[in-house]
Amino acid sequence: MATTLIKGGTVVSSTGRTEADILIDGEKVVALISPGTTPLGTIEADTVVDATGKYVIPGGIDAHTHFELPFGGTEASDTFETGTRAAAWGGTTTVVDFAVQTTGTKVEDGLAKWHAKAEGNCAIDYGFHQILGGVDEDSLKAMDRFVDEGITSYKMFMAYPGVFYSDDGQILRAMQKAADLGLLTMMHAENGPAIDVLAAQLVEAGKTTPYYHGIARAWQMEEEATHRAIMLGNLTGAPLYVVHVSAKQAVEQLAWARDKGQNVFGETCPQYLYLSLEEQLGASSKEWGDFEGAKWVCSTPLRSREEGHQDHMWQALRTNDLQMVSTDHCPFCMKGQKELGKEEFRKIPNGIGSVEHRMDLMYQGVVTGEITLERWVELTSTTPARMFGMYGAKGVVAPGADGDIVVYDPKGHTSISAKSHHMNMDHSAWEGFEIDGHVDTVLSRGKVIIDKGEYLGAKGDGKFVKRGLSQYLV
Ligand code: URP
Ligand code: ZN
Ligand code: ZN
């Protein structure tokens, strides 16, 4: 088997950093070698990657992506091929996407469809969560097979009535089952029926621009739903993971439940750390006028900076009130997709594309002092691996782990722009962002797939990861 030596770098884990060379044999890491400790002289390898002056970290794990998601009358614009390749460019070596069951369809059919979309097309390894678009006898029965299929987490929606929505009774039944099976329940925690009324009232009053998407999806709707999900988790004993948390009041709910020892976790996303409702209100361009703000329409929505949500998200990442950062990558082009909602915001497909930029955007948080280098690794790789049952193979650089490794140059620079990104999008939600760091080299199971600005991988390199139960429960 081919060997690879990553030489001269600083290996950063969630708990510390050390100078070491890394030897990979085939797909697996076989040794970490401290300088001056090779008794038999120099180690030879088929490929040598020079990491001098650079950080060597476990490959990023983005546990929340939506490739090819049918949504809002269109389909997310990244395929598994384009999306996983873009992820690789940005130092992410595993994604967990959401297989979809919509109301009235069979869970098995949705899962089979997702396997067919992904198999043979991915640049990096991938797993699936299962979306339950409706909880009935059939879907409850289907849950029995999830663990055997390596799908150990599933998502329900308290929002989007008529599309993905489950009512409290349905959620209760699924959580009872999840508690028995050891599945992690992922929740889109927004009060959908109330939001729909607010949105209709705004449109009726002529308030139709993208900004009003965020007004309709008020933070009270997120706090209330988060609390309800927590209480249903408390009653049933089901571990709960709240996705795309953006309101500081929702974080307070999570912290309250965690302080009582409940298995309750939350992720936020780069958009809730960096972008705001005020900027969305002010967004305007020659081409789109005030519809420019549509590029930032996502759910949960961007929050007010004046109200302090963004600062609170950073704080929660430091204190572990939030445990992870995922992207909720759900890209739509402005032309032909977002513009479906030009007349009114309810018709704008919800979603932002960030799968390529998560590692860089979070590294910028290290540069600005929001988080430590070790916390960067923990939030973007180690905890996602533990939370979703992949730790050991993923999320760590250690003998026996997969050779999923990123060489990150802290002296490098990355300018984010739609002109240079690799996602299949005609705009970037991150246009003009400057990052004081750069992804230099990316290895996926021992194969160098990105090196110095070149993509060396191929579609089909990425394999399905059968995940175990969560390794993060208290
Ligand atoms: O705006 C979003 N988040 N789109 C993707 C669907 C979801 O709710 O995660
Ligand atoms: Zn969601
Ligand atoms: Zn999502």
pLDDT at 1: 86
Give helix 192-204 / helix 219-236 axis angle, nearest 10°. Answer: 170
* Shortest-distance Cα residue to atom 4 of ligand 1: 351
* Shortest-distance Cα residue to atom 9 of ligand 1: 328
Q: What is the dihedral of CA 335, 277, 375, 413, to 10 degrees?
A: 50
Given the CA of residue 164, which atom of ligand 1 is nearest to it? Answer: 8
Token couple for 206: 């002529």
Taking a C-beta distance cutoff of 8 angstroms, is the pair 355, 82 a contact? no
CA distance 376 to 326: 12
pLDDT at 39: 62
Query: Which whole-number Å values give the CA distances from 326 to 19, 112, 199, 275, in the listed order?
Result: 28, 24, 27, 15
List the chain pLDDT tens, one digit each, 474 residues. Answer: 899 999 999 999 999 999 999 999 999 999 999 988 876 667 889 999 999 999 999 999 999 999 999 999 999 999 999 999 999 999 999 999 999 998 789 999 999 999 999 999 999 999 999 999 989 999 999 999 999 999 999 999 999 998 999 999 999 999 999 999 999 999 999 999 999 999 999 999 999 999 999 999 999 999 999 999 999 999 999 999 999 999 999 999 999 999 999 999 999 999 999 999 999 999 999 999 999 999 999 999 999 999 999 999 999 999 999 999 999 999 999 999 999 999 999 999 999 999 999 999 999 999 999 999 999 999 999 999 999 999 999 999 999 999 999 999 999 999 999 999 999 999 999 999 999 999 999 999 999 999 999 999 999 999 999 999 999 999
Given the CA of residue 66, which atom of ligand 1 is nearest to it? Answer: 5
What CATH number is given for 59-387 in this structure?
A: 3.20.20.140
pLDDT at 134: 83
Query: Which whole-number Å values give the CA distances from 146 to 131, 133, 139, 436, in the listed order?
Result: 12, 15, 11, 41
CA of 244 to the centre of ligand 2 (A): 7
Please give the angle made by the CA atoms of 389, 392 and 397, to the nearest 5 degrees.
Answer: 130
Given the CA of residue 155, which atom of ligand 1 is nearest to it? Answer: 9
In a mutational test of the pocket of ligand 1, which residue from 244, 280, 346 has the highest number of ligand atoms less than 8 Å from its CB? 244
Phi/psi of residue 95, nearest 5 degrees: -125, 150
* Shortest-distance Cα residue to atom 8 of ligand 1: 299
In a mutational test of the pocket of ligand 1, which residue from 272, 328, 329, 355 has the highest number of ligand atoms less than 8 Å from its CB? 328
In a mutational test of the pocket of ligand 1, which residue from 195, 243, 299 has the highest number of ligand atoms less than 8 Å from its CB? 299
CA of 38 to the centre of ligand 2 (A): 50
* Shortest-distance Cα residue to atom 7 of ligand 1: 299
Domain limits, the chain? 59-387
CA distance 62 to 466: 16
DSSP-derived secondary structure for 23-47: EEETTEEEEEE-TT--TTSPPP-SE
What is the biggest distance separating any 2 CA atoms in the chain, rounded to whole angstroms? 78
CA of 9 to the centre of ligand 1 (A): 37
Contacts of residue 242, defined as CB under 8 A and 6 or more positions apart, other chains included, come to 186, 187, 189, 226, 229, 250, 254, 264, 265, 266, 267
CA of 250 to the centre of ligand 1 (A): 17
Given the CA of residue 98, which atom of ligand 1 is nearest to it? Answer: 9
In a mutational test of the pocket of ligand 1, which residue from 221, 330, 425 has the highest number of ligand atoms less than 8 Å from its CB? 330
Q: Tally the C-alpha atoms within 13 A of residue 171's C-alpha that lie toward its C-beta.
A: 29
pLDDT at 232: 98
CA of 347 to the centre of ligand 1 (A): 14
pLDDT at 102: 84
Query: Which whole-number Å values give the CA distances from 69 to 293, 300, 355, 391, in the listed order?
Result: 22, 17, 15, 27
Alpha helices in 22-152 (DSSP H): 80-89, 107-118, 137-143
CA distance 467 to 118: 16
The H or E element spanning position 411 is none
DSSP-derived secondary structure for 232-277: HHHHHT--EEE-S---HHHHHHHHHHHHTT--EEEEE-HHHHH--H
pLDDT at 40: 63
Q: Which of the 8 DSSP states describes residue 183?
A: P
CA of 43 to the centre of ligand 2 (A): 48
The H or E element spanning position 316 is helix 309-319
* Shortest-distance Cα residue to atom 3 of ligand 1: 299
Which is nearest to 130 in space by CA: 53, 186, 169? 186
Q: Quick one: which ligand is closest to 302's CA?
A: 1
Given the CA of residue 298, which atom of ligand 1 is nearest to it? Answer: 1
Distance of CA 429 to the CA centre of its chain: 16
Residues with CB under 6 A from ligand 1: 66, 188, 244, 298-299, 328, 330, 350-351
